[in-house]
Structure 1
C-alpha cells in the first residue's frame, strides 16, 4: 500500500542530517579500530551452530537492506533519511518492520561480530541501534505522523519499530 502525502503539501524532513549512514559507517570504523587496537576475547563458543546463526544474521540483514531500498525505489519515494517523506510505504519488508533498513544494518554489525569474533561489533550494533532510534527514528515517526496522520498511526499499530 502506498499513500501520497495528503493534499500534496510540502513538508520538512524529519532531520536535516543523514544520521543513519553516518552512524553505520562510524560504527563499523570504531568496531574495527577497537578490534585491532584493543581486542577483547570472544566469549562465545567457536562452534558451527553459532557461526551459521551469525551468517544468517548477515544474509537476513543484507536482504532487509536491499529489499527496503528496492521497495522505496519502486514506489518512487525517497530513501534518503534527511529528505521529507512523500509517500507512506507499507509493502515489502515495511509490512512487518517500520525500519527494515536500520534493522538490516544492526544485523550486519552482528554478522561482523561473528566473522571477526569481536565483541566490539556487538557493542557497535547496540550503540548504533540506540543512536539511530534517538537521532533518526523518533523524529521520523513524528514527521510521518504529522504528514500522514491516522493512516500512519494505523500502520504503526500493526508493524514493529525493530523486531
Structure 2
C-alpha cells in the first residue's frame, strides 16, 4: 500500500481521459478507415436508446453523488461511500454509463470504432482506475466497503 492510496486512488483522472481518447480515436478512424455498422432503422434506434440510457445513468449517478456531498473526481479521495441510487446496481455506474454512451453513439451513427473503443476503454478503466479506486475505498471504509463490494457487482453483472 502506498501513501497515495490512502489519500487518493490515482494521480490522473483516467476515466474521462480514456473516454475522450476513445471518442476521438473513433471519430478519426471513422474518417480514415471506416468500420461500418448496419444503418437499419432498428439498429439506429437501438443506438439512440443505448446512448440515452448511458446519459440518463450518468446524470443519475452524478446527482446521487452530489446529493451525498462526496467527491466525483476519479483522482481525488472519496468523502463518503455511496451505496444507493444507481450504486445499488453497479459499483461503477458512471463508467458503465460512459461505455453505454460510446456503444450507443457507434450504433446510432453506424461507426463500429465507437463499439471497439468503448470495450477497450472499459477494460483500461477497469485496470487503471477501478482497481485502484477499490483499494482506496477498502482502506478508507473498511468493512462497509467489503460488505458493499460483496453484494454489488463491479459493472452490472457478476
C-alpha distance in 1 between matches for 2:41 and 2:24: 27
CA distance in 1, matches of 2:29, 2:150: 39
Task: Give 1:21's match in structure 2, choosing from 16, 19, 36.
Answer: 16
CA apart distance, 1:50: 2.4
Q: Could you say which residue in structure 2 is the equivalent of 1:112?
A: 105
C-alpha distance in 1 between matches for 2:36 and 2:105? 15
Deviation at 1:47, TM superposition (A): 2.9
Cα RMSD of the aligned pairs, angstroms, is: 1.1
Q: In structure 2, list runs of 5 or more residues that go unmatched.
A: 1-5
- Post-superposition CA distance 1:23-60 (Å, at most 9, x none): 11111000000001111232x4x333323322221111
> 2:49 aligned to 52, 56, 62, which one?
56
Structure 1, gaps ≥5 residues long: 1-10
Q: State the match for 2:3 in structure 1.
A: none
Counterpart CA distance in 1 for 2:43 and 2:22 is: 23
Equivalent runs, 1:150-161 vs 2, <5 Å: 150-161=143-154
The aligned length equals 151
More helix by share: 2
TM-score after normalising by structure 1: 0.88
Task: Give the equivalent residue in structure 2 for 1:147.
Answer: 140
Say if 2:106 and 2:113, in contact at 8 Å, map to a contact too. Answer: yes
Check the 8 A contact 2:8/2:76 in 1, yes or no. Answer: yes
Give the Cα–Cα distance (whole angstroms) in 1 for the partners of residues 66 and 79 of structure 2.
12
2-side partners of 1:32 and 1:159: how far apart? 34
Question: Which residue matches 1:68?
Answer: 61
